[in-house]
């Protein structure tokens, strides 16, 4: 009997940053991890790998101080703790970001105040931040989303006028530049992530950088339970946690760091190739960045015109997955951060709702009318998978798939 089943469709497998196919992990990392294990010293308080990472990273980005910690979220927490807000102080942040960059604000008793984003770059701007400033504003957190820098010139000018500290969330923007300067070193403190999917990885891990000696001291202490290692009469000087990175992670990071520049350069070159292939497709807008910026392409993000493409970003994502096996992320975070239950229902410490009980009504007003850029940006964005191990064949496959999808959905 002849089968009536259609032959199973085969797809070109794209390298993934969730396994070895899309990572630069290999013999170098194995060698240094082996050395760490052989030493028998896996704590960074006694070992050498984490210290070497900190010195090398500070030198690479041009910062005076760099400290490794347990995660990107821990890095943000260290930065906020160093700024030392009073309970009820406000920290302006973005409506389009990961919870790991938001929860530390609440843990330090401060109120997150969400600024709208530009619908084209998905970043906060000086204009959207200024609308959120009050006499309670203690700091501004700017997120360089997808590796595309914010306009730090205008943001820093605004912050300086109001005497407000700026924390840069650079988790997705290793080696990205604004006006020739690495992001993460422009503001008061820069925070980096070494999580599995970042430009370089230790599975989990983070780094904080600053040029301020007092803030550096506070962050170093905060990583170490506020214990003054090496002080004449050490003590636990204030409330803090153990956010140390292990020597195993430090060894991996020491092997990863020399590869970082090449990783970013490869991603940029691949992005330029894909942009050239899709820039004339109706209804598809490639990633935008200012001429003042150098993008580092953590992800490659399309803006999809729903008036020209049936189903918009969601429809395009479904077609790419079903017809070509390309898994992408429409809307990126699905909904603005302020619509997550922790903010919407103020679920924090027991039933206390703290620190929201200290908030001004305006600070927790999440009316959609205040966030036109956020809702428009999330509606149109489609985040493509991306890493440095793509070949020309992979780029051609993605570009051809997008072209076929648009023809089918137009």
Catalytic site residues? 198
Q: Tell me how far apart the alpha carbons of residues 231 and 225 are, in angstroms, rounded to a whole number.
A: 14
Cα–Cα distance measured from residue 261 to residue 265, given in angstroms and rounded to the nearest whole number = 6
- Please give the distance of CA 277 from its chain centroid, rounded to a whole number: 27
> DSSP per residue over 320-380, as a string?
HHHHH----EETSSSS-GGGSHHHHTT--STT--TTGGG--GGGG---GGG-HHHHHHHHH
Q: Which of 54, 264, 94, 258 is nearest to 173 (CA)?
A: 264
Q: What is the C-alpha separation between 185 and 119, in angstroms, rounded?
A: 25
SS3 content of the chain, % helix, strand, coil (to 5): 40, 15, 45
* 3-class SS of residue 304: strand
Kind and range of the H or E element at 166?
strand 165-169
Which of 12, 9, 10 lies closest to 395 in space, CA to CA? 12
CB 393 within 8 A of CB 132: no
What is the β-pairing status of strands 165-169 and 90-94? unpaired
- CA–CA distances in Å: residue 180 to residues 177, 183, 188, 214, 295: 5, 9, 17, 27, 11
Here the tokens at position 136 are 């309670």
Contact yes or no for 403/281 (Cβ under 8 A): yes
Instruction: Quote the CA–CA distance of 218 and 226 in Å, as a whole number.
Output: 8
Report residue 389: phi and psi, to 5°: -95, 10
DSSP conformational letter for 157 = H
* Angle in degrees, CA 167, 169, 175, rounded to 5: 115
């Amino acid at each position: 009997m002849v089968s009536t089943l259609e032959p199973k469709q085969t797809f070109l497998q794209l390298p993934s940053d969730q396994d070895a196919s899309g990572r630069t992990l290999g013999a170098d990392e194995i060698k240094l991890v082996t050395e760490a294990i052989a030493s028998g010293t896996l704590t960074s308080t006694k070992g050498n790998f984490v210290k070497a990472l900190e010195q090398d990273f500070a030198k690479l980005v041009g910062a005076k101080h760099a400290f490794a910690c347990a995660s990107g979220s821990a890095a943000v927490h260290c930065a906020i703790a160093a700024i030392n807000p009073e309970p009820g102080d406000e920290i302006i942040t973005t409506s389009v970001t990961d919870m790991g960059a938001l929860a530390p604000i609440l843990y330090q008793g401060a109120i997150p105040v969400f600024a709208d984003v530009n619908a084209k770059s998905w970043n906060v701007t000086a204009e959207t931040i200024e609308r959120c400033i009050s006499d309670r504003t203690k700091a501004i957190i700017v997120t360089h989303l997808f590796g595309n820098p914010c306009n730090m010139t205008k943001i820093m000018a605004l912050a300086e006028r109001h005497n407000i500290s700026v924390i840069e969330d650079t988790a997705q923007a290793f080696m990205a530049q604004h006006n020739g300067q690495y992001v993460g070193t422009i503001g008061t403190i820069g925070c980096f992530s070494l999580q599995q999917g970042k430009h370089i990885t230790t599975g989990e891990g983070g780094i904080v950088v600053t040029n301020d000696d007092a803030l550096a001291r506070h962050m170093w202490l905060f990583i170490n339970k506020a214990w003054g290692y090496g002080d004449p009469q050490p003590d636990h000087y204030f409330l803090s946690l153990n956010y140390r990175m292990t020597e195993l992670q430090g060894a991996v990071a020491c092997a990863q760091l020399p590869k970082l520049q090449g990783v970013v350069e490869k991603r940029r070159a691949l992005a330029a190739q894909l942009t050239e292939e899709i820039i004339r497709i109706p209804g598809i807008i490639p990633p935008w960045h200012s001429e003042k910026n150098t993008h580092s392409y953590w992800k490659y993000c399309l803006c999809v015109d729903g008036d020209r493409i049936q189903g918009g970003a969601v429809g395009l994502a479904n077609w790419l997955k079903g017809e070509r096996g390309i898994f992408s992320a429409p809307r990126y975070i699905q909904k603005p951060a302020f619509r997550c239950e922790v903010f919407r229902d103020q679920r924090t410490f027991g039933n206390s709702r703290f620190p929201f009980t200290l908030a001004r009504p305006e600070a927790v007003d999440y009316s959609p009318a205040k966030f036109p850029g956020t809702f428009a940006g999330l509606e149109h964005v489609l985040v493509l998978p991306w890493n440095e191990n793509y070949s020309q064949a992979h780029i051609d496959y993605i570009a051809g798939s997008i072209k076929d999808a648009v023809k089918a959905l137009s």
